[in-house]
Amino acid sequence: DAKTTQPTSMDCAEGRAANLPCNHSTISGNEYVYWYRQIHSQGPQYIIHGLKNNETNEMASLIITEDRKSSTLILPHATLRDTAVYYCIVRVATNAGGTSYGKLTFGQGTILTVHP
Amino acid sequence: DSGVTQTPKHLITATGQRVTLRCSPRSGDLSVYWYQQSLDQGLQFLIQYYNGEERAKGNILERFSAQQFPDLHSELNLSSLELGDSALYFCASSVYSDTGVGYTFGSGTRLTVV
């Protein structure tokens, strides 16, 4: 699975958009980008995933560059409850027959702090 | 409530002891994953089961073992406990066996070894 690089921490004002970058310059053609977040001491929560097209759901938007070497998770109107560690993960969509199957490897992530 | 139930929520035990952590997956999910989260190591993948069979293994210690039962609940057994085993242990479940989509995590079991 491709390695990802994220900033250690970021700040955002409440009500503003939070843009969390992720670099994955060694991503392969069959690897997806997944985003999860973990609010303090809770279990991680799935946010969104994508291959190459931009994706949007009720939680966030995912913008993937045309060369797929980086992506940005956008929380359009951040609230205090969005304060969490955000993990960007890259892996193949399916790995049947491989050795990692459904395994997700979490890095250190980005600590997002939303301020009033 | 995520639908994944972990018990107990907190556990305090002495070094050398053995404990069992339990996980009930979300209804309809066949895969169960166990993760360990300590302050200095972050979230570490331990093991995955799918419909009763082991499917993927991470850096799980030999003192640790797990199984998934016919009713799909899973147990993580930790033996000969050491101080360094103190951590949050998360269980997650998903419908599929081999994608990264749609993991649902439980609220975790906080294990303290004294």
- Give the per-residue pLDDT at A82: 97
For residue A39, give the chain B residue with the closest CA: B107
- Judged by a CB distance cut-off of 8 A, whether residue A107 touches chain B is yes
> What are the helix and strand counts (H, E) for chain B?
0, 11
- Give the per-residue pLDDT at B103: 87
- Give the per-residue pLDDT at A30: 83
**Residue B92, pLDDT above cutoff 90:** yes
Is A49 in contact with B101 (Cβ distance < 8 A)?
Answer: yes
**Residue A98, pLDDT above cutoff 90:** no
Chain A CB contacts of B103 below 8 Å: 36, 44, 46, 102, 104
List the one residue out of A107, A110, A111 whose CA is nearest residue A90: A107
Is B108 in contact with A43 (Cβ distance < 8 A)?
Answer: yes
**For B10-19, B36-45, B80-89, which range has the lowest pLDDT when averaged over its residues?**
B36-45
Distance CA B66, CA A3 (A): 28
Q: How far is A59 from chain B (nearest CA, A)?
A: 14
- Give the per-residue pLDDT at A95: 57
Distance CA B108, CA B77 (A): 15
Residue A115 backbone dihedrals phi, psi, to 5 degrees: -100, 145
**Number of Cβ within a 10 Å radius of residue B4:** 23
Is A104 in contact with B105 (Cβ distance < 8 A)?
Answer: no
Query: What is the DSSP-derived secondary structure letter of residue A100?
Result: S
**Pairs across A and B, CB distance < 8 A:** 81
- Give the per-residue pLDDT at B81: 98
Question: What number is the average pLDDT over the span A5-23?
Answer: 97
**For A13-22, A82-91, B74-83, B100-109, which range has the lowest pLDDT when averaged over its residues?**
B100-109
